[in-house]
Amino acid sequence: MNGEKRILLEYADKINPEKAEDYIKVGGYKGLEKARKMKPKQIIEEVKKSKLRGRGGAGFSTGMKWSFVPEHAPVKYVVCNLDEGEPGTYKDRIICEKNAQALLEGMAICALAIGAKKGYIYCRGEYPHIVRLLNNAIESAKKAGVLEDFDIEVRMGAGAYVCGEETALIESIEGKRGEPRFKPPFPGVEGLWGVPTVVNNVETFACIPYILTHGAEWFASIGAPDYPGTKVLTLTGDINNPTYFEVPTDYLLSDVIYKLGGGIKGGRKLKAVQVGGSSGAFIPPENIHTSIDFDSMSRIGASLGSGAVFVLDETRDIVDVATRIAKFFEHESCGKCNPCREGTFRMYEMMQRINAGRGSEEDLENILVLSRVMQKASLCGLGQAAPIPIETTIKHFREDYMRKLM
């Protein structure tokens, strides 16, 4: 064994994710059955006790999130975030392709816990085959009778990264321009069409059935104590084994690269690794002996984010990579708030200048000031995180920048 621990992906390629019966045969829908015998408050307590934290990036306690939903609101919604826009991330697609029924079961359990009758899955626009797969999976679950009166509708995004942000996602489902709302109010109180809404990531929902089936203590005992469970990671870049893995959350980043990933391509040395997608920090080789869980990553100034692991070998031009990332954010900024709309645009201009050998030390200083303000003053996580890859490359690889300056 390479140290993987498969819970969500245990029956990958052994069952047909579209068929409820396949899933039921391997123990599926037991969690939902159990939940039906529990009071909503007990379900939420169980999820709280499991210490499950959101797998979409922010790492917020799932049980807490559910508990914020006002009990007596007449209409509520469950929304699954399958926007998966973070470059290098495809774990939600894998979870759907291997175990879609677990996602449906997780949503149905959430619906019981908060008292919702309707759920939406917001699917990334580039995944039309997943929309088909999910629609078939929902139909099969409906036929099997396991969902009872809980309805799930699949909606499709149109390729905007920002629509992965929960409130922009809600706007998009409502048929509006994909722009984040200010918070508070949080979706739990005022979400889709103004009513209480729980938004969770695919992986978060997919953990729920296992928590209900095997118990909160069991889940809480796996991996890192404050961010327990497993995490599905996707490896990309200069790595021998660029694929997906499910590991306990106390797994070391260095083991992800050298054990699971089989090391750097061509036996070259590691330059840097970026965890969590394009908005993640770049981690220098000296920091990779760190557990991948949310808090350990934060301690080294990084973030687990979506669980994408992007590996760069020693031959890579990190300034060029950071410039491309700046371009991505310049393209994806929704344009609502000043620091991000203009900040991402000017950041890309300055990075292009530096990358082309026309930048000055002043540009570098201006980037750092801008980066600070964007992180502190942008409206949503996009603008707050956009400068992080640039700032961290300047921090850890300043010589690479200096070499390119005029």
Partner 1 sequence: MITLTIDGKRVTVPKGTSLLDACRIAGADIPTLCHDPELSLAGSCRMCVVEVAGRRNLIASCVTPAEEGMQVETESEAVIEARRIILELLLARHKLECHVCERDGDCKLQDYCYRYGVKDSRFKGEEPHFYKEDPNPFIERDYDKCIMCTKCIRACAEITGAFAINLKNRGHNAVISTAFDLGLKDSTCVFCGQCIMVCPVGSLVSKVEKGRGRTYQTEKVRTVCTYCGTGCTLELKVLNDRVVGVNSIRDEKLSPANRGALCVKGRFGWDFIDSPERLKEPLVRKNGELMPVSWEEALDYTAKRLKEVKEKWGSDSIAVFTSARTTNEENYLLQKLARAVIGTNNIDHCARL
- Using CB under 8 A as the binding rule, whether residue 344 contacts partner 1 is answered as yes
Report yes or no: 248 and 300 within 8 Å, Cβ to Cβ: no
83 binds, among ligand SF4, partner 1, ligand FMN, none (CB under 5 to 8 A by kind): ligand FMN
- Smallest distance from partner 1 to CB 366, Å: 5
How many residues in the chain? 406
For 247, counting Cβ atoms within 10 Å of its Cβ (0-12 exposed, 13-18 middle, 19+ buried), the class is: buried
Span near ligand FMN by CB under 6 A; candidates 233-241, 244-252, 310-318, 375-383: 375-383
- Using CB under 6 A as the binding rule, whether residue 86 contacts ligand FMN is answered as yes
List alpha helices for 237-360, DSSP H: 253-255, 294-299, 318-332, 338-355
Phi, psi of 217 (to 5 degrees): -60, -45
192 binds, among partner 1, ligand SF4, ligand FMN, none (CB under 5 to 8 A by kind): none
Q: Which of 233, 236, 252 lies closest to 244, judged by CA?
A: 233
Span near ligand FMN by CB under 6 A; candidates 43-51, 52-60, 93-101, 207-215: 52-60
**Tokens of residue 227, six digits:** 């961010």
Span near ligand SF4 by CB under 6 A; candidates 27-35, 149-157, 279-287, 376-384: 376-384
Q: Which residues contact 42 (CB under 8 A, 6 or more apart)?
A: none
Partners of 248 in the beta sheet?
230
359 binds, among partner 1, ligand FMN, ligand SF4, none (CB under 5 to 8 A by kind): none
Q: Around Cβ 243, how many Cβ atoms within 10 Å?
A: 14
Tell me which of 249, 303, 378, 393 binds ligand SF4, using CB under 6 A: 378
Pairing of strands 244-248, 270-275: unpaired
Span near ligand SF4 by CB under 6 A; candidates 31-39, 93-101, 330-338, 345-353: 330-338
- Using CB under 6 A as the binding rule, whether residue 76 contacts ligand FMN is answered as no
> Mask: binding to partner 1, 146-175, rule CB under 8 A, as x and -?
--------------x---------------
DSSP, collapsed to helix, strand or coil, labels residue 145 as coil
Span near ligand FMN by CB under 6 A; candidates 32-40, 200-208, 231-239, 256-264: 200-208
Tell me which of 60, 182, 193, 218 binds partner 1, using CB under 8 A: 182
- Torsion, Cα 101 102 103 106, to 10 degrees, reads 130
- Smallest distance from ligand SF4 to CB 162, Å: 5
Report yes or no: 203 and 232 within 8 Å, Cβ to Cβ: yes
| Rg of the chain over all Cα atoms, to the nearest angstrom | 21
- Smallest distance from ligand SF4 to CB 384, Å: 7
- Using CB under 6 A as the binding rule, whether residue 296 contacts ligand FMN is answered as no
Nearer to ligand SF4, 319 or 340 (CB): 340
- Using CB under 6 A as the binding rule, whether residue 162 contacts ligand SF4 is answered as yes
Q: Which of 260, 257, 285 lies closest to 271, judged by CA?
A: 285
Partners of 35 in the beta sheet?
none
Nearer to partner 1, 10 or 342 (CB): 342
- Using CB under 8 A as the binding rule, whether residue 184 contacts partner 1 is answered as yes
- Smallest distance from partner 1 to CB 378, Å: 7
Q: Which residues contact 338 (CB under 8 A, 6 or more apart)?
A: none
Q: Cα(402)–Cα(406) distance, rounded to whole angstroms?
A: 9
- Using CB under 8 A as the binding rule, whether residue 379 contacts partner 1 is answered as yes
Tell me which of 171, 246, 332, 391 binds partner 1, using CB under 8 A: 332
Tell me which of 51, 55, 65, 336 binds ligand SF4, using CB under 6 A: 336
Q: What is the 3-state secondary structure (H, E, C) of 387-402?
A: CHHHHHHHHHCHHHHH
Phi, psi of 200 (to 5 degrees): -135, 160
Residues at the site binding ligand SF4, with contacts judged by CB under 6 A: 162, 180, 333-337, 340-341, 378-380, 382-383
Residues at the site binding partner 1, with contacts judged by CB under 8 A: 160, 177, 182, 184, 330-339, 341-346, 349-350, 362, 366, 369-370, 372-373, 375-379, 384
